[in-house]
Amino acid sequence: MEQDLATLAATVAELQEKAASNGTIFSETFYYLTIPLMVLIHAGFLAYEMGASRSKNALASGIKNILAFAMIVPFFYYVGWWIYWAFPTGLTLTQGAMEISGLAYANEVASPTSPYMGPNLDDRATGVFWGAFVLFAATTASIMSGGVIERIKLTGFIVLAVVLGAFVWILAAAWGWHADGWLVTKFGYHDFGAAGVVHMIAGFFTLGVLINLGPRIGKFNPDGTANQISGHSMPMTLIGLMLIIAGFWGFLMGCVIVPGEAWSWSNTIEGTIYGTPMTISGMTFNTLMGFAGGIIGAWMVTRDPFWMMSGALGGIISCAAGLDLWYPPMAFAIGFIGACAMPFVASFVEKMGVDDAVGAFSVHGFLGLWGLIAVGIAAQGYPALYGEDVIETSFMGQLVGAIVMAALGFIPGYAVSLLLKVTGQLRVPVEAEILGLDKAKVPASAYPEALHPSVSPAE
């Protein structure tokens, strides 16, 4: 009898070990797949921004995106990942209640000298999570990139992209997208799909930059009225926007904690970054409903293909903060309302003399704000963290979070771009802008000569 019990116990232990191993492999694969999917976001931004640029600036618009991505990676390795674990409780290096933050913890798991930050047979997950966060960082830079096309200096843009991607957004994530984040633990801030910590931060940072960068030559008339400066390829822009939507699935996958992953509080159900329960099923319902609501709302208001596809992205951003909470028709309504408002916000920004070439602020900054406030209006009372007797989400908590995100985005964007402007590193010379950045800065041609109307095939 005792031998049978011992055999049974050994079998159970073996099965549990295999289950744990399978769970770990599944979670690693799940997050690993977020990375190539999120790369689609950047393929989308390339097509989107090159199409929205005039042909004389197409390659320059693409090159700055690729270089920003490449520069953010090492900065995020040396600094950004450490910031996420070091500063959730504020600007002091103190440990939070969940004991996964502070100086000691950050040095242990995120310092470049840590054994977790390289090949380690005992840790197969850190690099995958780090990679997913790098792609979030690069996304913030790509959001900014669209607004500033056709007149920003490459060096100035790279500086701004690194500041935004490796310092500013990850500090916002530490405060509002971490179980020890002070906005979460003190105010019940809820932002499942990063409407605030990614989109709102990037949108308001971009607004600060645009104020100092100034409009493109010919954008505004002497009386202040605006002229339409059309890109050279609307089809390329629409395809780019759809690729961004495809990549958004990887973005949202990276917001989920799946069973078997070391950060999870539960081994039986998916969770949010805060440890609260959710399901991928619910996220899928709400993402598609927000997507559809955004397209329909923007098309009804504008009848413009560009704003229609921007509305698809805007619909998802509008309901992103509460994707784990919404009933699907609510997600549709929130996406619809946000997308309907988006073009009017873009017009208002333009009337203020700001040339936001692709509506980066209205799509990401304003709709990120709307997404946070929507949670405060319609999803009050949900537990903000895993556990008992925890703080709940509230309108005031979401409002405080939105104010913090707006300030944390706008102030660094304005200050750093002003410094670059004063030192002559922000904007290209007038002659280069008129000639076209491709001819002035890029030793290549975007299109064969035969496609230029000024050159005949015989020539």
pLDDT tens-place string over residues 175-234: 999 989 999 999 999 999 999 999 999 999 999 999 999 999 999 999 999 999 999 999
Query: Looking at residue 457, what is its pLDDT?
Result: 43
pLDDT band at 367 (very low <50, low <70, confident <90, very high): very high
DSSP labels, 3-22: HHHHHHHHHHHHHHHHHHHH
Question: Could you tell me if 43 and 66 are in contact, meaning their C-beta atoms sit under 8 angstroms apart?
Answer: no
Q: Tell whether the model's pLDDT for residue 9 goes beyond 70.
A: no
> What torsion, rounded to 10 degrees, do the Cα atoms 185, 191, 195, 196 define?
-10
Query: Looking at residue 255, what is its pLDDT?
Result: 81
Higher-confidence position of 242 and 25: 242
Query: Looking at residue 263, what is its pLDDT?
Result: 47
Q: In the chain, what percentage of residues exceed pLDDT 90?
A: 72
As a whole number, the mean pLDDT across the chain is: 89
């932002």: which residue's tokens?
191
21-217+231-445: CATH number: 1.10.3430.10
Higher-confidence position of 263 and 309: 309
Which amino acid, one-letter code, is at 157? F
d(C-alpha 439, C-alpha 86), whole Å: 45
Q: Count CB-CB contacts under 10 A for residue 305.
A: 15
Domain ranges of the chain: 21-217+231-445
CA atoms within 13 A on the CB side of 14: 6
Range with lowest mean pLDDT among 139-153, 219-233, 440-454: 440-454
Query: Looking at residue 459, what is its pLDDT?
Result: 39
Question: Could you tell me if 399 and 376 are in contact, meaning their C-beta atoms sit under 8 angstroms apart?
Answer: yes
CA distances 267 to 29, 84, 257, 281, 284, Å, are: 16, 24, 10, 17, 21
pLDDT tens-place string over residues 34-81: 888 889 999 999 999 999 999 999 999 999 999 999 999 999 999 999
Q: Tell whether the model's pLDDT for residue 267 goes beyond 70.
A: no
Query: Looking at residue 16, what is its pLDDT?
Result: 46
Query: Looking at residue 269, what is its pLDDT?
Result: 62
Higher-confidence position of 454 and 244: 244
Query: Looking at residue 29, what is its pLDDT?
Result: 77
Query: Looking at residue 32, what is its pLDDT?
Result: 77
pLDDT tens-place string over residues 297-352: 999 999 999 999 999 999 999 999 999 999 999 999 999 999 999 999 999 999 99
Q: Tell whether the model's pLDDT for residue 125 goes beyond 80.
A: no
